[in-house]
Structure 1
Amino acid sequence: MTGETEIFVAWREGRQDRALLAIHGGPDWDHSYLRDPLSELGCRLLLPDLRGCGRSGRVGEYHPDGVVDDLVRVLDSFGVERADVLGHSYGGMVAQRFAITHPSRVRSLVVSGSSVLPVPPDAFEGWAERDALLAGREDPWQREDLTPDDVKAEAVAAAPVNIWRAEAMPGYLRRLEAVRFGAEWVRQLRAGTLVTPRLPDAAQRIAELDIPVLLLHGRYDMTFPVSLVEPTLRLIPRARAVVLEAGHMLHVDDPEGYLRALREFLGGAALEDGLELGGTRPV
């Protein structure tokens, strides 16, 4: 569309009564690391690359409000009035912002490997294994002239932090090889101009939406602590939680448990077996 960022969407037509909009994290990743196992669901599936990511357009400003506007256009382009919205990691915070600012477009919300509440500075205090994994690592975002290769190298280096089950690691590393990494967002992070998608009082505002909410989390998540799940449940009456024996990339560590939790939450629209992802297009 003229004057608007072109957003690339991988999609699969499924049951027309429900659509799942899945928002990736990073944010300088693309949607592809979420395809498996989401493509096994039977509902209609939309997997956009956020602006500046993957095969979507590059712009001058990377602000979460622009991302939300892009997602509205994605739903409009596919004729989806209301969607079940899932966001992973950074995408989990974008999904919350989308639900709060566009409540008429959201049927339910899945916060996957992310958090509604801010992460406190001492959230991981005393976790020796995490401390050991992070010990001595340089901050990769302090380098000059950051490139997509730098972002990819950091994703590979961080794999032991994000994957809990050793047997899942080889498949995860292969998955990373397929991701189209970028560096647009991290350059803003380095410049100190990156705006968080987390809105103030998000838990209260989500509770006021009165929609079903699923907190889908890994017990050994080293990015967003599992300790935030219980206090979030107390603040959002319609929220439920599923905690898997997994790390931050819980859909890779435990794909069967991940799918089971989603199918139980989404109901009949997601009970059927999925098909191959059937197409891609820009909007």
Structure 2
Amino acid sequence: MPKLEVDGAVLVYDDEGPRDGVGVPLVFIHGWTANRHRWDDQFAHFSAERRVVRLDLRGHGESTGAGARTIDELAGDVVALLDHLEVERFVPVGHSMGGMIAQTLALAHPERVERMVLVDSISRMTYSWARGLLLAVSTLLPFKLFVAVNIQRAFAPGYPKDKIRQYIDASAATPREVVMTCYGAMRAFDVLGRVHEITAATLIVHGYHDIQLPLSQMLRMANDYPDAVVRIVDAGHELPVEKPAELTALIGKFVAEPTTA
């Protein structure tokens, strides 16, 4: 289990697949309170043919460190890891908060991002007055209940309750400080006015039943992307585990298309 010390954190990561495989490396970035195993299906599939990298973000999973106060800080960790691994060009595949990190990477390092995949992610979190009040009140709940409520509503109706409980338990194991600090980082994240600068071809995959980051907000973002393909899947917010085979197939088709650069 390789590790890298970065700015007070120890990042645990996986780096597998043939170095001379097809295409540039895929870099999988998980979301809030999750860990690198959200990508188990995709990681196993793509590592057979190309280099793939995934990490536990600081304070998440098996990585240590305090919570990041901005998405930029998390993006900086990813860049530090890729520099350490001598990965120059890559395809970031980000879920939820990981998609926010991917967009940050594409804006800050356009010469390194060959193309990009965003899964259940948006460029700015926007709330109605009522939803904003509900979210503010939810932060006052006991920590485990706060996590449970947020993870429970991330899945589409009908997803097995025993599996949801496993994800709730894993998320609740994330230190409170990390959970709440990264929650604030997501709420402050806003690059909606800059996504028109992202010229890399982008695949945007979103769950139809996603109420965490609603479909309407994703579509508003996608409208401003110069080169984006949008795919809607019959799932909730946790596409990598709700519909793993479907997501893997969509990513595979997208990254197999020839680049225009």
SS class of match (1:119): coil
Matched, 1:19 2:21: no
Query: Against the structure 1 CA distance between its residues 3 and 25, is the aligned structure 2 distance closer, same or farther, given a 3 Å change threshold?
Result: closer
Query: Against the structure 1 CA distance between its residues 156 and 70, is the aligned structure 2 distance closer, same or farther, given a 3 Å change threshold?
Result: same
The residue number in structure 2 matching 1:188 is 181
- AA partner of residue 24 (structure 1): H
Instruction: Could you tell me which runs of 5 or more consecutive residues in structure 2 were left unpaired when the two chains were aligned.
Output: none
Matched, 1:76 2:93: no
Instruction: Could you tell me which runs of 5 or more consecutive residues in structure 1 were left unpaired when the two chains were aligned.
Output: 125-133, 270-283
Which segment drifts farther, 38-47 or 181-190? Answer: 181-190
Instruction: Output one character per residue of 1:154-200: Cα deviation in whole Å (capped at 9) or x when no partner.
Output: 4444444222152544344345555652222334378x788734335
- AA partner of residue 255 (structure 2): L
Distance 1:164 1:195 in 2: 23
Distance 2:130 2:251 in 1: 27
- AA partner of residue 174 (structure 2): F
Query: Against the structure 1 CA distance between its residues 182 and 72, is the aligned structure 2 distance closer, same or farther, given a 3 Å change threshold?
Result: same
The residue number in structure 2 matching 1:6 is 10
Query: Against the structure 1 CA distance between its residues 186 and 80, is the aligned structure 2 distance closer, same or farther, given a 3 Å change threshold?
Result: same
Contact kept, 8 Å, 1:8 with 1:49, in 2: the verdict is yes
- AA partner of residue 68 (structure 1): A
Q: Which has the higher contact order (CA 8 A, sep 6+)?
A: 1
Query: Against the structure 1 CA distance between its residues 252 and 57, is the aligned structure 2 distance closer, same or farther, given a 3 Å change threshold?
Result: closer
Query: Against the structure 1 CA distance between its residues 114 and 233, is the aligned structure 2 distance closer, same or farther, given a 3 Å change threshold?
Result: closer
Instruction: Output one character per residue of 1:224-274: Cα deviation in whole Å (capped at 9) or x when no partner.
Output: 1112344333321210111101110122222221111101111179xxxxx
Contact kept, 8 Å, 1:204 with 1:236, in 2: the verdict is yes
Q: Report how far residue 65 of structure 1 moved.
A: 2.5
Distance 2:217 2:247 in 1: 19
- AA partner of residue 161 (structure 1): R
TM value normalised by structure 1 = 0.74
Distance 1:159 1:194 in 2: 16
- AA partner of residue 38 (structure 2): Y
Query: Against the structure 1 CA distance between its residues 253 and 30, is the aligned structure 2 distance closer, same or farther, given a 3 Å change threshold?
Result: closer
